[in-house]
């Protein structure tokens, strides 16, 4: 526990040093927003409740000031969001139980976008990670692993992004998008000490998955997943720092996620 706290403190200190110059301005790094905004266009699973808003007040009040407020509702899983381990693993962490040191950390980005151009059902394999490591070195401990399939460019076109624009249970069989192969998920869980994983598609398992084995394997090891992540093509293979902060829903199986990355300037 002491070692984990020390690592987190050092990471936070390093981040602040990168982010702020001596004058106190954010000048020494580039911030990348990895979050799709939430609106009526936001993509949700075909069977999930979509994002909705209802205006409850907009205009000048009887006291003379302007006031604008809305209610919103949505499923826990949709848009840029986090899957907590409890989602597919009984007794594992809920959203509010995921510690900050799993949500803030150094990122590695694996780009398989060339492979998905001709295969929407591509599943990221162990070999893809080994090829990445051959160039970039072993995935460091406590990394946040991000998988760039190239699919963020289709957002919010449901047909191109998911393989279908239909809704309801009948649409499930028509889903086509890339994901993580269960064997690769198992390899990561057993051989690499990662904090979290994320990708730019609706699910960590590919669209045609029936058993969601990648989810199950990762979540049994308390590794949360970020889904529908944006702008991964703007990040380098390594060297950026990710901040992935979900709505802290007590007991939640998932939650909307605001995720950003800092690319520090070279010294």
- The residues annotated with a catalytic role in the active site are 87
For the chain, the residue count is: 267
> 231 and 197 in contact (C-beta within 8 Å)?
no
> 26-62 burial, b if ≥16 CB within 10 A, otherwise e?
eebbeebebbbebeeebbbbbeeebbeeeeeeeeeee
Tell me if residue 18 falls in helix, strand or coil. Answer: helix
Residue with tokens 């269960």: 182
How many Å apart are CA 245 and CA 102, to the nearest integer?
10
Q: Report the sign of the C-alpha dihedral through residues 148, 151, 156, 158, in that order.
A: negative
Residue with tokens 């302007």: 66
CA-only gyration radius of the chain, Å: 19
What contacts 154, CB < 8 A, 6 or more positions away?
160, 161
Smallest CA-to-CA distance from 225 within 207, 205, 247, 209 is with 205
Angle at 196 between CA 191 and CA 198, to 5 degrees: 110
> 208 and 228 in contact (C-beta within 8 Å)?
no
Residue with tokens 């000490």: 193
């Amino acid at each position: 526990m002491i070692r984990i706290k020390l690592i987190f403190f050092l990471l936070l200190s390093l981040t602040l040093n990168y982010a702020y110059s001596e004058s106190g301005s954010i000048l020494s790094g580039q911030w990348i927003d990895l979050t799709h905004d939430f609106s009526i266009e936001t993509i949700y699973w075909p069977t999930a409740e979509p994002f909705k808003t209802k205006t409850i007040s907009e205009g000048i009040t009887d006291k003379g000031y302007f006031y604008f407020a809305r209610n919103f509702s949505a499923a826990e899983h949709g848009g840029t969001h986090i899957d907590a381990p409890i989602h597919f693993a009984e007794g594992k962490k809920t959203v509010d139980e995921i510690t900050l040191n799993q949500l803030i950390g150094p990122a590695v980005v694996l780009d398989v976008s060339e492979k998905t151009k001709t295969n929407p059902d591509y599943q990221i394999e162990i070999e893809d990670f080994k090829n990445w490591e051959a160039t970039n070195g072993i995935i460091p401990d406590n990394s946040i692993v991000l998988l760039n399939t190239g699919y963020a460019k289709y957002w919010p076109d449901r047909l191109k992004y998911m393989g279908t624009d239909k809704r309801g249970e009948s649409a499930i069989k028509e889903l086509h998008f890339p994901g993580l192969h269960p064997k690769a998920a198992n390899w990561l869980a057993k051989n690499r000490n990662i904090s979290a994983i994320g990708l730019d598609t609706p699910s960590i398992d590919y669209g045609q998955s029936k058993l969601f084995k990648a989810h199950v394997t990762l979540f049994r090891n308390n590794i949360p997943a970020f889904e529908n992540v944006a702008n991964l093509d703007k990040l380098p293979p390594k060297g950026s720092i990710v901040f992935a902060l979900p709505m802290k829903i007590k007991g939640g199986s998932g939650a909307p996620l605001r995720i950003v990355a800092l690319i520090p300037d070279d010294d």
